[in-house]
Amino acid sequence: MKPVFELASAGIHYGRAAAGVSALCDVSLTVQPGERIALVGANGSGKSTLLRLLHGLAAHTSGQVVRDTDRAHAMLFQRPHLMRLSAVGNIALGLWLRGMVWREAKVHAHTALKRVGLAELAHRNARTLSGGQQQRVALARAWALSPQVLLLDEPTASLDPHAKREVEALIHEFAHQSEAMTLVFASHNLGQVKRLASRVIYLEQGRVLADLPVGDFFSGPLLQQRFPAAHLFVKGEST
């Protein structure tokens, strides 16, 4: 099948050459349909920038980036951007902007809220909901668009433990609803990475230093021998 993303020596540099900042450097990777990829690394390592590059929100300044434009994308941020509308209105608006008739969009929006367990809050102002509920509204909004590629930037980082479990369970369900669904997410939660990912990419200072199947990434000896920086990160995050 056609790759979802192909990056060849892709980079993003801000500012003038000498005085600027490189957010991504010489990143080469291929994402196939159906992969579940976790991006890990310390704050500032380039995870969010890479997600934005994949989604088209950031432009590369070097190398090549090829996206399969036939596949619908949706991206979920750590803090969801919700309009001053009801929960159902936030979802319906996205569908309406995609060309759906408003009445039909509202029907689909109610279905999406029911899907994430928030049917009873459909007419509440979305901005007055709890953090976990807002993230579930954002997930419902993404799910309603029937994406084939789901990009998530630390989707549970600011949530309490109960809300984290709820949102993670929904992500797992969405990612497994179709063999062709592709998931790329950034996370500091290594337990979450083990549960959701089939492949792990470790970034440091904008560079990909390790790219392994999830089992190999957490195997210990292999990671320590081939990717010592990634091994130190895993050891530090796990203690």
**CATH number, residue 168:** 3.40.50.300
Confidence bin at 18 (pLDDT 50/70/90): low
Of all residues in the chain, what percent carry a pLDDT higher than 90? Answer: 68
Average per-residue pLDDT for the chain: 91
Residue 76 falls within a domain, yes or no?
no
129 and 94, same domain (yes or no): yes
Quote the CA–CA distance of 20 and 66 in Å, as a whole number: 25
Confidence bin at 238 (pLDDT 50/70/90): low
Structural domain count of the chain: 2
Least confident piece of the model among 17-26, 67-76, 205-214 = 17-26
Crossing angle for the helix pair 87-97 and 102-115, nearest 10 degrees? 130
Structural domain range at position 101: 83-145
Residue 78 falls within a domain, yes or no?
no
56 and 98, same domain (yes or no): no
114 and 17, same domain (yes or no): no
43 and 66, same domain (yes or no): yes
127 and 154, same domain (yes or no): no
66 and 155, same domain (yes or no): yes
50 and 160, same domain (yes or no): yes
Checking if the pLDDT of 228 tops 70, the result is: yes
Tell me which of 224 and 6 has the higher pLDDT. 6
Residue 77 falls within a domain, yes or no?
no
